[in-house]
Chains A and B, each alone.
Chain A
Amino acid sequence: MVLVKTRNLLKCYPMGLRTLTALRKINLEFQRGEFCGLIGPSGSGKTTLLNIIGSLDVPSQGSVTVLDKKIEELSHVEAARLRRNHIGFIFQTYNLLPLYTAYENVEFPLLLIDMPEAKRKKKVMDALDWLGIADKAESRPAQLSGGESQRVAVARAIVKLPDLVLADEPTANLDAENSFNILEMMVKLNQELNTTFIFATHDEKVIRYLRRKIHLVDGQVVKDEIVN
């Protein structure tokens, strides 16, 4: 089943008097359950593409369909609803809410979808448990290591069981061991829950795990390979 589809996607940004083309003629399809990555150097357009798929940005031309919804036609509220119900984000710098505990950070996406408290509590503890950080539930981000913080971020992304997880350089700030642990968990998630993962990365540690590698250079897809 096609989860994400881009057609002739073009994204331009005004840069003073000039226009910078970040993405050009991107035609891609992502199936449910894929574990794939957008690979390329800085400035190749991978984060821009991830943002558009995540409905945080809109295409300048062309069309992007996510779960049968055209991103370019969504209002702010509809885009927020799509993210709230169907998409999880994982960031390079974790971006946990610093004033809240690990438990509360993971709880936040469930509060946004008005999940009842008892069910919410179970889901949060399950997610923390699954990622092996249940004992850190009451710790604030400042009290967590990088690996623990990223696990909390992953728990926050997957706690609502989204259809799609978008991960932008998720291991860039992690050492090899933590990167390995995080990636192993993501693979497990992908396999057990059939959650679709799309990475933006140039980290070899991540690239090794990908089953589909989409290479971007100067905003264009130069190679799209399936790894068996």
Chain B
Amino acid sequence: MIRFLLKGLIRDRSRSLSPVLIVAAGAFLCVFLYGWIKGAMDDLISSTARFDTGHVKIMTRAYNRLSDQMPNDLALLGVGKLLDDLRASEKGITWMPRIRFGGLLDIPDEKGETREQAPVAGLAVDLLSPDSPEPEILNLKNALVRGKLFQKAGDILISEAFAHRLGVKIGETATLIGSTMNGGLAMHNFTIAGTVRFGIAALDRGAVIADIEDVRFALDMADGAGEIVGYSKEMHYDNNAMVALTKQFNKKFEQDKDEFAPIMLSLVDQYGLREYLDLANTFGAIIVTIFVMAMSIVLWNSGLMNGLRRYGEIGVRLALGEPKGTIYRRMILESIITGFIGSLLGTLAGLAVTYYLQYKGIDFGNLMQKSTILMSNVIRTRVTGWSYVIGFIPGLGASVIGTMFAGIGIYRRQTSQLFKELEA
């Protein structure tokens, strides 16, 4: 019997090809949009983690409260011992000290007078230790546009766009004018070793990367650091593990009322990223729901049209002794078959495009010039395990729900009524 019904399904393109194409289109969009949101959100999280928050970050409580002002007067001290303790107790995490600093970058002329000057936001990281993972975390090798990476103390990297704006050349001197940890005037000369472009508008506008020892010296922050960031060795952010780690760490300092006591925050506890992540998940759910509803309506309508067209067939089948329930269940079986095939085709097409854009990406650099979000200009999609199944939810769901609604007509009408319509 199933083979018999399949023959009819295959021969009637309005019952097979059309629903398959509708479902395939919906499943394709679902897989692609999910991959797009996932890719964009993962990129946002990854970039934010690499350049700012780490997977976890330790600061003083006071620094945390004012962290957007880079208050180095509230920075951690005794960082060496704290790092030793952390590296001994949490071996699965890479711990690195960082200092964020602000000030003016002054470019002198040949007489030592100011030629160009501009405000700068800098990041000081360990760049000169031979086993430092920071160059890799910040992806400096790939970001280098001109010059060389760090060779020696006193070297500095500045963003390519910033270098253009200031008209500086590789090897020129740049003076950082800022304030020390204790509030005094800080002036320190650096040598521009190279220029970098991260593909993140917020950094490429005017970032400076310096070695942490130079900045400690310049800002009078011996054995200090604004932040200690931690990354899992695999560079994969595991929210549950990181939240557990922060709880365990913060518990040790629960009784300490000192505002300079350290506090650890996980990635999602910073900059409202938890809300971003929740938003992304909600968007994903909304997209699937919208597609299920929209496609259900389309397929319901298509099912109703088919149902009207099939009144003749249904009337004959009833007359020949096929029960209403059996006809209804077989219509749903047909919808499962078309829904499955459509979902499969749509998912395959969606995965193909998503895979392609995962490597190729789309450059939104021109649209993101004023962006302050740490997000790549090139947005890439992301294929995850969910990508393989998410298209089947609207695909199968809409097909079955649409057919169930359309098929209710069989029960609403008396057999004789169907029969009369058949005769008409």
Contact = CB atoms under 8 A, between A and B. Distances in A.
Contacts of B419: 51, 56-57
A77 B323 contact: yes
Determine the interface band of chain A, counting residues with CB < 8 A from chain B: 20 to 34
B255 interface: no
Nearest to A82: B321
B115 interface: no
Contact of B319 (A83, A92, A107): A83
A85 B313 CA distance: 19
Interface stretch (A1-9, A25-33, A93-101, A122-130): A93-101
A99 B16 CA distance: 13
Interface string A49-90: 001001011000000000000000000110111111101010
Contacts of B12: 99
B4 A95 contact: no
A148 interface: no
Given A80-B322, A84-B321, A51 B416 contact: yes
Given A56-B419, A92-B423, A100-B7, A109 B321 contact: yes
Among A92, A97, A100, which residue has the most Cβ atoms of chain B within 10 A? A97
A104 B7 contact: yes
A144 interface: no
A219 to B, nearest CB: 16
Given A99-B12, A104-B4, A107-B4, A56 B318 contact: yes
A56 B317 CA distance: 12
B8 A97 contact: yes
Contacts of B315: 95
Contacts of B179: none
Contacts of A84: 320-322
Given A57-B416, A93-B423, A83 B7 contact: no
Contacts of A104: 4, 7
A223 B52 CA distance: 99
A109 B320 contact: yes
Contacts of B317: 108
B301 interface: no
A97 B318 contact: no
Interface in B396-424: 414-416, 419, 422-423
Size bracket, chain B contacts: 20 to 34
Given A57-B415, A76-B324, A84-B322, A99 B4 contact: no
Contacts of A81: 321, 323
Contacts of B11: 99
B8 A99 contact: yes
Interface in A150-181: 156, 168
Chain B CB within 10 A, most for which of A80, A89, A98, A109: A80
Nearest to A75: B323
Contacts of B324: 76, 80
Contacts of A87: 321
A131 B400 CA distance: 41
Nearest to A81: B321
Contact of B323 (A80, A99, A109): A80
28 contacts: A51-B416, A54-B319, A56-B319, A56-B415, A56-B416, A56-B419, A76-B324, A76-B325, A80-B318, A80-B322, A80-B323, A81-B321, A81-B323, A82-B321, A83-B319, A83-B320, A87-B321, A92-B423, A95-B422, A97-B316, A99-B7, A99-B8, A99-B11, A100-B7, A104-B4, A108-B317, A109-B321, A113-B321
Given A76-B323, A168-B423, 12 more contacts: A51-B416, A56-B415, A76-B324, A80-B322, A80-B323, A84-B320, A84-B322, A97-B313, A98-B312, A99-B8, A104-B7, A112-B322
Interface of B: 1, 4, 7-8, 11-12, 312-313, 315-326, 414-416, 419, 422-423
Closest 3 CB pairs of A and B: A84-B321, A57-B416, A83-B321
